[in-house]
Amino acid sequence: MADLPKYSYSYKALNSLVGKAIHRYGMIEAGDRIAVGVSGGQDSLMLLWSLGERRKRVPVEYDLFPIYVDPGFDGGFGEALASTCREFGFPLTVDRTDHGIVAHSASNRENPCFLCSRLRRKRLFEIADRLGCTKLALGHNKDDVIETFFLNVCYAGEISTMVPRQELFDGRFTVIRPLAMVDEKAIRRLAGTLAFPLFNNPCPSAGTTKRSEIKAMLERLYRSNRKIKGNIYRAMSHVKMEYLLK
């Protein structure tokens, strides 16, 4: 894996946004045991790497426990992913399941991605609990937050999105998203600089989801006006309730 100049602009920019999100939403406290959901994608690898780097430079002590829930498809990459996590300095818990296969079976009448995601999230919480973690960090970025907003508007008929910090199960667990303010392209650029490995997603639904359609729609909007993405993101925290239908 490539070395990164200590004061690289790309790292400083990402670290600044991660720090801003952590402080604004109170994501991490001293003594936290944080489970980190690792999928093999660039976002989750950047999440683990950046939290590990940040831990070396801040006075707040916390522990990280990466977890990979293998969906069970042929061509999986659990061992290679575990090797990458070891390079980052963390042992990876690999849990092999049949979630992806079940979600794509004839017995499932729901959206395969919805069921697979729900099963994976449930398993992440179970493993996090077993490891003594009370927080689960996920690698969702700024683009994911915006895309989820449009997915919920278009396909769920509601105005909502994923939030940077969310308490669940009466406060027993807290989901945190430290990359929530970081652009996907910024993550890709830094991941390229660091020579993060690329893992091939064996899921048959990869690249053909409703999220992919929303992403393509938004990319067309962004190309028309470079301010649109920032405006959409800011709009989600500047809601005028009196001008919404009731």
Domains of the chain: 9-243 (3.40.50.620)
163-174 pLDDT per residue, tens = 999 999 998 999
On whether 39 is known to bind a ligand per the annotation, the reply is yes
Which whole number is the average pLDDT over 187-205?
A: 87
**Torsion angle of the four alpha carbons 32, 58, 52, 147, in this order, in degrees rounded to the nearest 10:** 80
Residue 4: band (very low, low, confident or very high) from pLDDT cuts 50, 70, 90? low
What is the SS3 assignment for the chain?
CCCCCCCCHHHHHHHHHHHHHHHHHCCCCCCEEEEEECCCCHHHHHHHHHHHHHHHHCCCCEEEEEEEEECCCCCCCHHHHHHHHHHHCCCCEEEECCHHHHHCCCCCCCCHHHHHHHHHHHHHHHHHHHCCCCEEECCCCHHHHHHHHHHHHHHHCCCCCCCCEEEECCCCEEEECCCCCCCHHHHHHHHHHCCCCCCCCCCCCCCCCHHHHHHHHHHHHHHHCCCHHHHHHHHCCCCCHHHCCC
Across residues 18-28, what is the average pLDDT? Answer: 97
Query: So what's the pLDDT on residue 112?
Result: 78
CA distance 231 to 68: 34
Q: Is 60 annotated as a binding residue?
A: no
List all residues 6 or more positions away from 50 whose beta carbon is below 8 Å from its beta carbon.
14, 15, 18, 178, 179
Out of 52-61, 69-78, 227-236, pick the least confident.
69-78
143 is in an annotated binding site: no
Average pLDDT over the chain, rounded to an integer = 91
Per-residue pLDDT, 176:
98
Q: Which residue, among 27, 39, 100, has the nearest Cα to 66 in the 3D structure? A: 39
Residue 43 assigned to a binding site:
yes
- The verdict on pTM exceeding 0.75 is yes
